[in-house]
Amino acid sequence: MGNLKSIMNKQGFTRPSLEAAAAAWKQNLAGHGLPTEQLWIFAENLCIEPSGTVPGGYSFCFQTKFSPPDSDALEIAYDHFSGTHSRIVFYRLGSSGNKSICILLCDSWFEEKKSGDGYERRDDWKISFRPGPAGEIEEVKDLKRWVRRIKKRDHAFHDFDFSMALETIDEIKMHGRPLHPYERLSQRMINRMRTILGPT
């Protein structure tokens, strides 16, 4: 998948390979004076907490200690997103340890996002870059704090809701595609029965 060829479609844009898109993203970060070395995170790596400064607001942190992404996670996510007609977004959350903490997003909702919203568009690729402001993002290493984070269903809508989950990446590896909700439910029930019954 790393050698994915450019994808042409009837809507008139061309998806570049991950290597070409990543090179353009790195150049974009450098142009803003931001760290070009990147750490990619996914839905399970986000840590959302109540803001200590804005009443009713939220703050965003990250962790890779408790659910580390596999080395091929970005490649799989990009390959899957590239097969859609929705806009892909290379999104930087902040810096940590001289690295840019990045997350890949994809949805048609981003089609209306322009430079005034912090998104730099490559319409020929149907990709946007969102380098964000200079600043640090905290890495969470305390398990209790991670367990107490705000779950997705309990916070206001955000761009990050369009990220890919590591669970979905595992499904693509095993089944060649994301599972439907009823398939996930069936798989969980099977796994639960295997736990109860033990090895046969």
Domain boundaries, the chain: 7-164
Query: Residue 24 carries which side chain, given as an amino acid letter?
Result: A
Share of the chain above pLDDT 90, in %: 56
Q: Are 64 and 45 in contact (CB under 8 A)?
A: yes
pLDDT tens digits for range 140-153: 998 888 887 766 55
pLDDT digit string, tens, across residues 23-48: 999 999 999 999 999 999 999 999 88
Report the candidate in 55, 59, 31, 20 with the shortest Cα–Cα distance to residue 134: 31
From first CA to last CA, the distance across the chain in angstroms is: 36
26/193: higher pLDDT = 26
CA distances, 14 to each of 18, 63, 123, 198 (Å): 12, 34, 9, 50
For the record, the structure tokens of 39 come out as: 């750490």
- The continuous run of DSSP H or E covering 92 comes out as strand 88-96
pLDDT band at 184 (very low <50, low <70, confident <90, very high): low
Rounded CA-CA distance 81/18 in Å is 11
Tens of pLDDT, residue by residue over 115-162, are 999 999 999 999 999 999 899 999 999 888 888 776 655 545 568 889
